[in-house]
Structure 1
Amino acid sequence: MALFSQLSWYFLSEWRRYVGAIFLLMVIAVLQVIPPKIVGIIVDGVDNHSLTFSQVINWIGVMVLIALAVYLLRYFWRLWLFGASYQLAVKLRMQIYQQLNQQSSSFYHRYRTGDLIARTTNDVDKVVFAAGEGVLTLVDSMVMGLAVLVMMSIQLSWELTLISLLPMPIMAILIKRYGDKLHSRFKTAQALFSSLNNQAQESLSSIRMIKSFGLEQQHASRFDDVAKETGRQNMRVARIDALFDPTIFMAIGFANLLAVAGGSYFVINGRMTLGELTSFVMYLGQMIWPMLALAWMFNIVERGSAAYSRINSLLDEKLDMVDGELSPKQGRGVLSVNIKRFQYPEQTTQTLKNIQFTLSPGEMLGICGVTGSGKSTLLSAIQRLYDVTEGEICFQSVPIYQLKLDEWRARLAVVNQTPFLFSDTIAGNIALGRPDATKEEIESVAKLANIHEDILRLPEGYQTQVGEKGVMLSGGQKQRISIARALLLDAEILLLDDALSAVDGQTEYQILQNLSQWRKDRTLIISAHRLSALVGATNILVLKQGEIIEQGTHQQLISIPGWYQDMYHYQQLEAALDDDE
């Protein structure tokens, strides 16, 4: 029941719909207690021969009109009540989506994709069901039960009513116990459903690798284990769930037995007429739904409460990244980096230390080094995916943590080392950041990324569907489409994180030549393993274990003994051998 108080913010915002639906439910409850009374009148009238045939027909007509009125009223309260609950689904999912959008990368280290999807879909559905069906069963059981109870007690016999309801307190105690157990078991089952989602998502995302290594049976076995455990936990929920209806029907059965026994005694002793007993039994039959509804309400609300606690734990996650309050000034600006120390959250080892450089508009910075030297981490810090532990990164002489995140990142265009394409057309993927881009603008950046000719050779050109994650394209094609997408943004700072690794040397050279003409007064930062990509850089940083070990232009670095010179000669020799082959 605590769920209703937790959702009070939504009930207040949609109070018109809920009040209207509750009012109609009350009218329906009043209308439904009339037919049993009419049946009692008809039975006594027929038994006493005091009703004519036409009077019986009139009474039957009244019951038909009541049935039609109830039908129409039920239609409208369903529209109002369930319409309001469906809006709750929209609001909750938007809140979750906005929360996920604002979280930093460290948040996604703690939560897995399948778990987040389960909370956004399955858990929200359970809360919405409680806000719709749960409210219905609560109000309907209370109003209908109270109306029937009043008619039974006042209009017929309060003694027989008291006798008939003796099993109900026992039933209420049992239902409360079932509800408590259901809450904890359902929460466990939902957590395992999240694990099942995680397993399915990981397997489907890596299906090509699984097939390549012949791991289908191994992954199927792992999925089977998780599915069986999820099934076992759901079975524990079902065992509790299955106790509700038998308990209700047992209580109602005993209530009917007491009603018939007690009522027969009253009729024999002249304290009730046969028609009144008939009405009483019909009223007792109408008590079946309120009792079932009450049990069902406990079931629904406990499931919704367990689901809402999982949603709230997500919404209550504090933002690791605090948004700034300043907006960057109009025009280009100098990027100044002074990272004294950086380490990832919940880690003790330093990933970057003593990184200092300044980058003016129109300049190009190259970053190289062995695998794991901190190249991608440095680019992540510039994007403010993580905050620097000690030191600061400034743009236009303002620390980026003081800038509004959206506005700072709008100054950046990023191509990651693992490009991601949506299941859309090639044109749609290039125009991701600018959906209003013209065909000419899309083709222009595709030519700069040296992918235009490849696209024209595809069956439907720019309208070719690339499949999920660009499955039908090669790695080099995906990288070049991602570069075109970044160029279309026309951002001030372009970051390429090893974004040319999957293209051949000639294509790389052509793209770099195009970028040098495109760059003008824009800033370009390239992280690369192939040093040929950094030849045109105005400054190159060589990183090792998160520190700068060499720095300078290409010509300066190849003339000084060190890692850069050795790697350059090695790559030159490798290229020469490839040419001979």
Structure 2
Amino acid sequence: MEFFRDLWWFFKQEKLAYTLSIVGVAVVGLLRPVAASTVGTVVDKLAAGTVSTAELVWGGVLLLGVGVLIYGMRNLWQLALYISAAKLSRLLRERLYLHFTRQTPGFYHRHRIGDLMAHATNDIQTVEMTAAGGFMLLSGFIIIGGLVTVSMGVLVSWKLTLITLIPMFFLAWINTRYGSLLNRHFRQAQEAFSTLNGKVQENISGIRVIKSLGLENAEITSFTTLSAEVLAKNMATARVNALYDPTLQLLVGFCFFLALACGSWFVALGELTIGQITQFTMMLNQIIIPFLSFGYGLNLLEKGKVSYARINSLLRTDTAVADKPGAAAEIPGGDLQVQIRTFRYPGAETASLEDVQIKVRRGETLGITGKTGSGKSTLLRLLLREFELEEGVIGIGGRSIADYKLDSLRRAIGYVPQDHFLFSATIAANIAWGKPEAGGPEIRAAAKLAAIHEDIRGFPQGYETLVGERGVTLSGGQKQRISIARALLRDPEILILDDCLSAVDARTEQALLQGLRENRLHKTTLIATHRLSAVAHADRIIVLEEGRIKEQGTHAELLALGGWYAQIYRQQQLESLIMEGEGSA
């Protein structure tokens, strides 16, 4: 009963529906002995030859009425249960979805997307079935089985009832044994399904890479192996499931054997009549169904317990970054101050950033560059509070970003990541994703500023062109600029471009940067890039190396310094000239 204990909060919430179900089950449990008693009385009178036509008609009407009442009550309680279970399913999905949206990147590093989807679909479906079907079957066994059993003992014979139900005393041991096996095998089957789900999601997302490397057969083999493993684990679960019905049928058959054998003996002794044996057999048949359903109910209960435990394990995962008590709801604005003594990713031994001191005045542009892995993206992720900074502080307008609500902080920031994600919607909808109420003129203005307007005009449906999943129909440069337009549409206090100009040509890059300079005179911009031409106009540039600031200054100052920045800038300029020469040739 651990499942019902864990879900007690929901049963209290839906107490009306579950109380109605219990009352309905009890009414059915009381009506069934009435039907059996009516038949038994008629049989005795038939055997004695004393039955009248009126008694037969009255008995038929009574049986019909009882049948209609049982039908109505069963329909009523099942409807209440399944509606409540559907509410539970919706509630758990909403909780999981909300929980997923509040998690930091570290959570998604530990959990594969396919596994999370399996929790949100397969596991929730199992919990829903248990909350409805499991409760219905178990309550039927306890209430109907109990009431009919008491009626058998009181109305017919307590001795015959006790003898007949002896085989059922073995039911508790059998269900404990089978339940333990089912719990273990079903958990393994669900975990195997999660792994398979993750594999499919990963392969579909990376299908172009798989095809480009000619790895279709290798991935098919890998999928087949995982699929076979899922089948094997489900077969193990099915073998345990298959034990329930035959075992219960054997016990049921033995119960009927004892009822007929011992009942005949009692008739021969004159302790019972033929009608009473008929009545007893009918009531025995009525409790056999709850006994049979009890096994299936426990089967569901074990599965529901496993699935709910899997869901709960996710919901109990603490959010690494959360709002502080009393955090400000206002959108931050002002100068940006960064004072980082040390930052390590959770579980990492080596520091990703050390002794980073930066101040950016409102309206300035900061360029951030350095080798791959130097800490550029880490610095930006800390500004977004994707991770908590414990040794140091990042502030906006003289207040730590930790003192603002996460929603308010992120409303102040327009972030364009390296990995551009577009939704399966129109170009206009993708640009307006962060500001759904934006109209056509606003969307077009943002697209012009991001230097993508002319490209969009060239599409057959213009701004209503569907981009396909993850923007598969667009080039890398077009996706980058649509992502930039999405961020610009919000007119954020701080705009962050995280190496998002790598796929655009030099001319488009300069047009875009010129537009930013003209339209963001009083807003702060941070540009992290490997291509130094993108930050040459910045008010200040920092060069990171192994998490530390190696060089800083304006473009002219860094060139005069003759260090890493000057060397890489001249190298990139030379490469650009060579490419232009090859193009003109």
Same fold judged by TM-score > 0.5?
yes
CA, structure 1 residues 286+329, in 2 after alignment: closer, same or farther (shift >3 Å)?
closer
Instruction: Name the counterpart of 2:443.
Output: 442
Instruction: Name the counterpart of 1:559.
Output: 560
Structure 1 segment 23-422 matched on structure 2, within 5 A: 23-324=23-324, 325-327=326-328, 332-422=333-423
Can you list the C-alpha shifts for 1:277-323, whole angstroms capped at 9, x where unaligned?
11111111112211112111211111111111111111111222232
CA, structure 1 residues 247+331, in 2 after alignment: closer, same or farther (shift >3 Å)?
closer
Rounded to whole Å, the distance in 1 between the matches of 2:532 and 2:304 is 57
Rounded to whole Å, the distance in 2 between the matches of 1:561 and 1:153 is 101
Rounded to whole Å, the distance in 1 between the matches of 2:41 and 2:458 is 85
Deviation, structure 1 residue 147: 1.7
Q: Is the 8 A contact 1:367 1:527 kept in 2?
A: yes
Deviation, structure 1 residue 329: 5.1
Q: Is the 8 A contact 2:332 2:412 kept in 1?
A: no
Rounded to whole Å, the distance in 2 between the matches of 1:332 and 1:312 is 39
- RMSD, matched Cα: 1.4
Deviation, structure 1 residue 72: 2.0
Can you list the C-alpha shifts for 1:364-409, whole angstroms capped at 9, x where unaligned?
0001111111111111111111122421111121221222111111
Q: Is the 8 A contact 2:126 2:304 kept in 1?
A: yes
Deviation, structure 1 residue 330: 6.0
Rounded to whole Å, the distance in 1 between the matches of 2:328 and 2:109 is 30
The question of 1:494 aligning with 2:495 is answered: yes
Structure 1 segment 467-486 matched on structure 2, within 5 A: 467-486=468-487
Instruction: Name the counterpart of 1:520.
Output: 521
Can you list the C-alpha shifts for 1:457-504, whole angstroms capped at 9, x where unaligned?
222221111111111111111111101110111110000001111111
Deviation, structure 1 residue 331: 6.8
Q: Is the 8 A contact 1:263 1:272 kept in 2?
A: yes
Q: Is the 8 A contact 1:412 1:493 kept in 2?
A: yes
Rounded to whole Å, the distance in 1 between the matches of 2:374 and 2:315 is 35
Deviation, structure 1 residue 430: 0.9
CA, structure 1 residues 139+16, in 2 after alignment: closer, same or farther (shift >3 Å)?
same
Instruction: Name the counterpart of 2:507.
Output: 506
Rounded to whole Å, the distance in 1 between the matches of 2:177 and 2:261 is 30
1:78 partner amino acid: Q
Rounded to whole Å, the distance in 2 between the matches of 1:88 and 1:331 is 39
1:438 partner amino acid: G
SS in 2 for 1:559: helix
Q: Is the 8 A contact 1:20 1:77 kept in 2?
A: yes
Q: Is the 8 A contact 2:331 2:412 kept in 1?
A: no
1:213 partner amino acid: L
TM-score (norm 1): 0.98
Size of the aligned set, in residue pairs, is 581
Deviates more, 1:295-304 or 1:66-75: 66-75
CA, structure 1 residues 134+273, in 2 after alignment: closer, same or farther (shift >3 Å)?
same
Rounded to whole Å, the distance in 1 between the matches of 2:275 and 2:544 is 95
Can you list the C-alpha shifts for 1:182-226, whole angstroms capped at 9, x where unaligned?
112211221111111111111111011001111111111111111
Q: Is the 8 A contact 2:332 2:397 kept in 1?
A: no
Deviation, structure 1 residue 334: 1.0
1:502 partner amino acid: A
Can you list the C-alpha shifts for 1:93-149, whole angstroms capped at 9, x where unaligned?
222222222222112221111111111111112222221111111111111101211
Rounded to whole Å, the distance in 1 between the matches of 2:558 and 2:566 is 6
5+ residue gaps in structure 1? none
1:253 partner amino acid: G
Deviation, structure 1 residue 241: 1.1
Deviation, structure 1 residue 328: 6.2
Rounded to whole Å, the distance in 2 between the matches of 1:54 and 1:454 is 90
5+ residue gaps in structure 2? none
Instruction: Name the counterpart of 1:550.
Output: 551
CA, structure 1 residues 107+152, in 2 after alignment: closer, same or farther (shift >3 Å)?
same
SS in 2 for 1:393: strand
CA, structure 1 residues 184+22, in 2 after alignment: closer, same or farther (shift >3 Å)?
same
Can you list the C-alpha shifts for 1:326-362, whole angstroms capped at 9, x where unaligned?
2165673111001111111101011111111111111
Q: Is the 8 A contact 1:424 1:465 kept in 2?
A: yes
Percent of aligned positions that are identical:
43
Rounded to whole Å, the distance in 1 between the matches of 2:348 and 2:120 is 30
Can you list the C-alpha shifts for 1:158-192, whole angstroms capped at 9, x where unaligned?
11111111111112211111112211221122111
Rounded to whole Å, the distance in 2 between the matches of 1:329 and 1:247 is 66
Q: Is the 8 A contact 1:11 1:18 kept in 2?
A: yes
CA, structure 1 residues 183+36, in 2 after alignment: closer, same or farther (shift >3 Å)?
same
2:520 partner amino acid: R
Rounded to whole Å, the distance in 1 between the matches of 2:534 and 2:474 is 23
The question of 1:569 aligning with 2:570 is answered: yes
Deviates more, 1:96-105 or 1:2-11: 96-105
TM-score (norm 2): 0.97
Instruction: Name the counterpart of 1:6.
Output: 6
Rounded to whole Å, the distance in 2 between the matches of 1:330 and 1:322 is 17
Rounded to whole Å, the distance in 1 between the matches of 2:372 and 2:172 is 66
Rounded to whole Å, the distance in 2 between the matches of 1:206 and 1:93 is 27
